Each structure stands twice: as C-alpha cells, then as structure tokens.
Homo-oligomer: A and B are copies of this chain.
Amino acid sequence: MAQRIPKTLSWIGELPGTLRMIDQTRLPEEFVEIDCETVEQVWQAIKRLSVRGAPAIGVSAAYGTVIGLQDATNTSRLEFDQKLNEVTDYLASSRPTAVNLFWALERMKNVVSGIPAASPAEVLLRLLEEARAIESEDREMCAAIGRHGAPLMPNQGGVLTHCNAGGLATAGDGTALSVLFAAASVGKKIHVFADETRPLLQGARLTAWECQQRDVPVTVICDSMAALVMREKKVQAVVTGADRIAANGDAANKVGTYSVAVLAKAHGVPFYVAAPSSTFDLSLASGDLIPIEERTRDEISHGFGKQIVPDGVDVWNPAFDVTPAAFIAGIITERGVIAPVSSESVAAMLGT
C-alpha cells in the first residue's frame, strides 16, 4: 500500500542534487511537486508552508544545508565552515517555533565539527549521508510511534485529530496519523474526525487527503464542531502532534489544540499527543517558556482568496498554543508511551 502514497520529500540525484517536495499549499485542489535547487527555495518552501510539520521541516533543513553548500566545495575548509554557519543561520530563521528545525541543523553542524581534517568535498558527502540518515530515522520513528500508539486506539470507534500530523508532516507515515494508520493496519475499525484547522486548513486539506489515500474513513468538521462530536460520543480518543514539548510535558502544537484538549477533558475523552523524542526541549521547564509565533493578519482576513474581515479591523493570529500536561493522557513517542505525563515520567522515558 505504501508504494502508491506520494512521498512528502525526496532527494533527487546525488551531488549536486535537488530536494523534491509536495507543495502542500496546493492540496487538495492540485497535486504539485516543487524541486528546490537553492537554499533560498528551501527557506521559502518552509516559510510559506509548502512543507510543514516539525519532522518534515527538520528533514528539509538538513537537505537544505546540503543544497546551500554543494557549490562551495572549491573553497577552503575555513570558508566552507563559514558558509555552513551562514546557511544554517539562514535556514533557522524560517520558522521560530519548530524545534526539529534547530535540532536538525545542530546535527548537521556537529557532523562538520567532528571531522576537522576533512576536505569540503568530503564534508559535503558526509552531510548528505547525515541528511539521509535523518530522513530514514524519521521514517522509522513514525513506524515506532504507530506501533506504540495503536493499542491506545478504540477497536471500533472514532478518533478526532487537529491539524495535520501525518505523512505530509514527516518523511514517513506521520506521528498522530501514524497511530491511526497503524491501528487501521492491525484491523481496528477507526473513523477519523478531522478538524479543518483554521486558518490554514491543514486538517481539511491534508489530513483528509492522507486518510483518503490510505482508505481510512474520514469526516471533516469545522473546529467549532469538535465539542459537539464529543458530546454525541462520536469519538473515543483524540490524537494530535506537537511542535515542541517542555520538560514537564506541556506541549505546543497548532493553535486550537489546547481548545480540543480542554473539550476532551470536559467530555471524558482521552487526549494523546504523538511526537518523537526530538520534539522535547528539555531546556524549558514548562510550556510557559515556549515562544509562540504570531503570523500575519491576511491568513485569517483573506484566507483562501476572499476578504472575510473588514479593512482596519484587528485580527489575532497566534500559530500555536500550549496544552498543559494535565490535559494530556499520554505522549506517544518512538520509545514508548509517557503516561501519566510529568517531569519525572518525561525524564524517565528520555533517559535524562
């Protein structure tokens, strides 16, 4: 089944190569792929959300680093290393909240600093290997999250998700959606309720598309209908992804996730977060310290081509919100499920 699912990201060629990605801003109307040949194209693709989702951003940034350096092999090692810093600083400026972005760039830099005697050409080759390793580890991570999460899903019932923590957000099957796809693949009859996820509608556009690609039944609802879906007992669990998780388990994710978590608690529905261990930022004691990106007015006021807010009226557009650990029944990682969620259980799972 996996073969017929288009890949979110692929490296085309060897060196020099290009990064091919599905342009997620065009789905579901059109299936279009973009070939990034310059680091500016990768930066733009991340910034304008052609590629989105913390793991996919990390993989893109890793390949973006290769792209940014593949014309620099005829320089000195010193110049190459300076260029590396420029390229990674530049890529880091594309999305401030996505911790995987910084994590992937740090990993690329560590490769370079670990081989001080290598030539620029040798370093570049090693960077491509590292980017490929990040990609394949991401794919394995998705599969492991699916295995750990599937037993938590109902055998016959509904599961609500918000935004898109699917294959389009990763190099593999996704995080939250991997749990659902893994449950479906072991024979559980699951019906997905996908919040459309304003303002950028990743749920309606992307989660629905992925479920359809994998023949998992899905119903799209407006975000404001999630409470009613819970009240009518149409769902027995909620699973979302996360963009950054603090040491105490507080989880930042797409705006609206906190709303879903509060509603789930009020209706006695377990709320799970599915995210790789790389999503944890143990330098932050709690979610209050997670910086929240505010995005532009027009995503709300002119979303999808039509003006819907009068000129001159204020709009608030935080891209993320933080769900306190107390609302989270469990965090499903590639290493296992953290439950109940606390600083202690997080530390125990992450081995810190």
Contact = CB atoms under 8 A, between A and B. Distances in A.
A201 B223 CA distance: 13
Interface in A184-203: 193, 195-199, 201
Nearest to A312: B212
Contacts of A260: 224
A258 B309 contact: no
Interface string A307-327: 111111111111001000000
Interface string A217-242: 11111111111110100000000000
Interface in A73-100: none
A305 B307 contact: no
A284 interface: no
Interface residues of A, number: 59
Contacts of A193: 316
How many copies, total? 2
Chain A interface mostly helix, strand, loop or mixed? mixed
A308 B196 contact: yes
A29 interface: yes
A147 interface: no
Contact of A315 (B198, B209, B219): B219
Given A212-B310, A228-B321, A300 B255 contact: no
Contact of A220 (B301, B311, B321): B301
A316 B28 contact: no
A113 to B, nearest CB: 40
Contacts of A258: 227-228, 231
A308 B194 CA distance: 13
Nearest to A210: B310
A308 B29 CA distance: 7
A184 to B, nearest CB: 16
- The 9 nearest A-B residue pairs measured at CB: A224-B256, A304-B304, A227-B259, A28-B310, A198-B222, A223-B224, A219-B314, A304-B306, A208-B313
6 contacts: A28-B310, A212-B312, A219-B316, A220-B300, A222-B256, A305-B306
